[in-house]
Chains A and B, each alone.
Chain A
């Protein structure tokens, strides 16, 4: 079976807009939270978010947007994009440079792109409002393309001239891990030689605040306390946005191009709770099954896992459910991987989460560290027996598991391994 490697990464996130800054934030546990100005209205009970810095995307008019100097995006490209399309576009540039890919290596029948985003509720809302107030024929011709779910791959596939497989994945917070899993499958099946995997989210008012209605957001006002997965006092997640791109390639391509990969993608597993449209199974049955599937299909013993990047979003029910699933997998004294949730630093990126945290795992494996789970003052007793690390360990994990869970009870577990 062909082996698959991660050879390039690009990050636009709340904890850094490039791999160097992201690595530093992960190592030093620097979070991306702030009292988010658009939330400081007394009518909004949520105060904290983890916005992307150095991008000004508040306007509905893409020509008002500003982004850091290295990125130049023409109007004709911008007009079909949501804010998260821009984040993904910038991350894509980074990933291509990082993987040292030529234009021909990006654009050919053997190179595809799988992506995930929740669309842009922000631009969708604007467009529909304009349609109702100004008339049906006065909407921006590209309003649909910029706002519906799928916008991120429509744009990247067209603008980077992707010729291979392309598709979007919609399993909410599990989406970009599904994208990565199926990209892996396409490479293993010989359908493609190289896949870009993209996760992105607007992470603005309209993307985050609707979660307040389901009481899923933290109401904390202290940026240092808002996101604290596995802590007894956790009270909901903190929203974030951004764009992350991973480059996956077959071993043949890695060898042919002579590049040094971050790590190997060993395989993946998925499973569904079959339980509730929005609430995790209390015993974590689906996530447990996803991890079992991932370990079985990759021939990995639980004892071999050194680090787990948990999904744990800092919600009371979700974290407890995942803790139970982890305890069901790592049962022997030798199976005691370090566990952390990097959402304690970034907040929850929804469709972005799987790709972003897989990118973090790749950095951890290459650079030899395991990021700590920040902001825990009193560990939830539910986590008893789990090795939840509160500070960064300066050791290189050989095998890493990355979990995500999404609405509908979709669970994905990805396995990464030190490249040998």
Chain B
């Protein structure tokens, strides 16, 4: 029986453990290349090279990034979420990024071209990128940074009820910022002589970020585009407010999709002010529909039962601001 053609010849094929086993001299050169990284980084790199198991990659990538970050900023990486930004948070400039790439190329024996680098803005982007490269998967859509003009152009929700100043959207979630100006109309009455951002509005802001994700970041089938007019709030779980937010505070919002199956999308969301936790929502669920279908969301029976208080979604003339809490 003829041998199957080797599967790793194509450029975008999964990482295949080289026919030549990982030799002591490879380990020595790996040790030399990683001499300024933590021992665990070296261990992870050795394991990866021996087994080809992509589970070791995050430790390698974080270890390499850490080595190039100024010592006083390294603590940020210790409890890093994937949203940590390379330039703004870690002080990594494009030249340092080159150094990181050269080392990663060396360690993982891959080559990365300049075009692929341009879209890597966060630690999460880098991890996902390396993971996709190694597994031979298609690279995810790059993180998009959306200014207010863009947000207002695509969102069904408009001022004065739009609570996003800027946002970034990737295939894995969205981040946004909103500064409480003190001019919001509802602060006049919430509360009397004591303006406090309503928790319901904070949840609304997270919902709006989820809407933006559905419109700009969600992976849908070919030719399927989510229509802005089809997105409505259906429910939320595990909402907790941790901090009173007032005019001058900048809300840092983030959402991540947990489940997405037409016509329901469920997200987790969190709001921080600086490093302080302000609010979390374990689950925010919305319905959505595709543009070419009816503007009414399709609600299959098996899913409709799960929707709490589904009357809002079924309303024949839903309000645009129905995304509120």
Question: Do residues B102 and A75 form an inter-chain contact, with CB atoms below 8 A?
Answer: no
Q: Which of B68, B99, B106 lies in contact with A140, CB distance below 8 A? A: B99
Looking at B91, B102, B105, the one whose CB has the most chain A CB atoms below 10 A away is B102
Does B28 count as interface, using CB distance less than 8 angstroms? Answer: no
- Which residues of A (43-102) have their CB < 8 Å from a CB of B? 63, 74-76, 79
B102 touches A141 (CB 8 A): yes
Which residue of chain A lies nearest to B99 when distances are taken between CB atoms in the complex?
Answer: A141
Whether A141 lies near B36 (C-beta < 8 A) is: no
Q: Once the chains bind, are B98 and A141 in contact (CB under 8 Å)?
A: yes
**Smallest distance from the beta carbon of B9 to chain A beta carbons, Å?**
20
Whether A76 and B70, one on each chain, are in contact in the complex, defined by CB atoms closer than 8 angstroms, is yes
Report if A275 contacts B (CB, 8 A).
no
Rounded to whole Å, the gap between the CB of A144 and the closest CB of chain B is 11
In whole angstroms, what is the CA distance A141 to B68 when docked? 13
A76–B96 alpha-carbon span in the complex (Å): 8
In the complex, are the beta carbons of B111 and A137 less than 8 A apart?
yes
Q: Is A296 an interface residue (CB 8 A)?
A: no
New contact pairs (4) apart from A75-B68, A137-B111, CB-CB < 8 Å: A75-B70, A76-B93, A140-B99, A141-B95
Question: Contact at B36–A63, with CB atoms within 8 Å?
Answer: yes
Q: Are B102 and A138 in contact (CB under 8 A)?
A: yes
- Chain A 138-149 near chain B by CB (<8 Å), digits 1 or 0: 101110000000
Contact of A138 among B95, B96, B105 (CB under 8 A): B105
Can you identify 23 A-B contacts, CB atoms within 8 angstroms? A63-B36, A74-B70, A75-B68, A75-B70, A76-B70, A76-B91, A76-B93, A76-B96, A79-B95, A79-B99, A137-B102, A137-B105, A137-B111, A138-B102, A138-B105, A138-B106, A140-B99, A140-B102, A141-B95, A141-B98, A141-B99, A141-B102, A142-B95
Chain A contacts for B96, CB-based, 8 A: 76
Query: What residues of chain B have their CB less than 8 Å away from a CB belonging to chain A?
Result: 36, 68, 70, 91, 93, 95-96, 98-99, 102, 105-106, 111
Q: List chain B residues, Cβ under 8 A from A75.
A: 68, 70
Nearest-Cβ distance from residue B30 to partner chain A, whole angstroms: 14
Which residue on A lies nearest to B114, using beta carbons? A137
- Cα A285 to Cα B36 in complex, Å, equals 56
Query: In residues 118-161 of chain A, which contact B (Cβ within 8 Å)?
Result: 137-138, 140-142
Q: Complex formed: what's the CA distance from A74 to B71 in Å?
A: 10
Q: Closest approach, in angstroms, between the C-beta of B36 and any C-beta of chain A?
A: 6
Note all chain A residues with C-beta closer than 8 A to B68.
75
Name which of B93, B95, B111 has the most chain A CB atoms within 10 A of its CB: B95
Which are the 9 A-B pairs with shortest beta-carbon distances? A141-B98, A141-B95, A138-B102, A141-B99, A142-B95, A63-B36, A74-B70, A76-B96, A138-B106
Contacts of B95 in A (CB 8 A): 79, 141-142
| Interchain nearest-CB distance for A137 vs B (Å) | 7
Q: What distance in Å separates the Cβ of B104 from its nearest Cβ neighbour in chain A?
A: 12
> Residues of A contacting B36 with CB < 8 Å?
63
CA distance A141 to B102 in the complex (A): 9
A147 CB, nearest partner CB in chain B, Å: 15
Instruction: Tell me, in angstroms, the Cα distance from A76 to B106 when the chains sit together.
Output: 21
CB distance from B101 to the nearest CB of A (A): 9
Q: How far is the CA of A141 from the CA of B106 in the complex (A)?
A: 14
Q: How far is the CA of A137 from the CA of B70 in the complex (A)?
A: 24
Report chain A residues within 8 Å CB of B93. Answer: 76
Bound-state Cα–Cα, A257 to B93, Å: 37
Q: A63 to B68: give the CA distance in the assembly, Å.
A: 11
Which residues of chain B have C-beta atoms less than 8 A from A63's C-beta? 36
Give bound CA distance, A138 to B96, whole Å: 14
B221 to chain A, nearest CB (A): 37
Question: How far, in Å, is A201 (CB) from chain B's closest CB?
Answer: 25
Q: Kindly provide the distance from the CB of A177 to the nearest chain B CB, expressed in whole angstroms.
A: 34
How long is the Cα–Cα vector from A138 to B99 in the complex, in angstroms?
9
Minimum CB–CB distance for A151 against chain B, Å: 15
**A142 contact set on B, CB distance < 8 A:** 95
Pick the most buried of A75, A138, A140, A142: most chain B CB atoms within 10 A of its CB.
A75
In the bound complex, CA of A74 to CA of B70 (Å): 8
**CA of A270 to CA of B41, assembled, Å:** 58
**Alpha-carbon separation in the docked complex, A270 to B22 (Å):** 63
Contacts of A74 in B (CB 8 A): 70
Distance in Å: Cβ of B88 to nearest Cβ of chain A: 16
A145's closest neighbor in chain B, by CB?
B95
What 0/1 readout, one digit per residue, does chain A (173-204) give for beta carbons within 8 Å of chain B? 00000000000000000000000000000000
- Set of chain A residues within 8 Å of B99, measured between Cβ atoms: 79, 140-141
The CA of A63 and the CA of B70, in the complex, are separated in Å by 12
Q: For the complex, give the distance between the alpha carbons of A138 and B95 in Å.
A: 13
Closest to B97 in A: A141
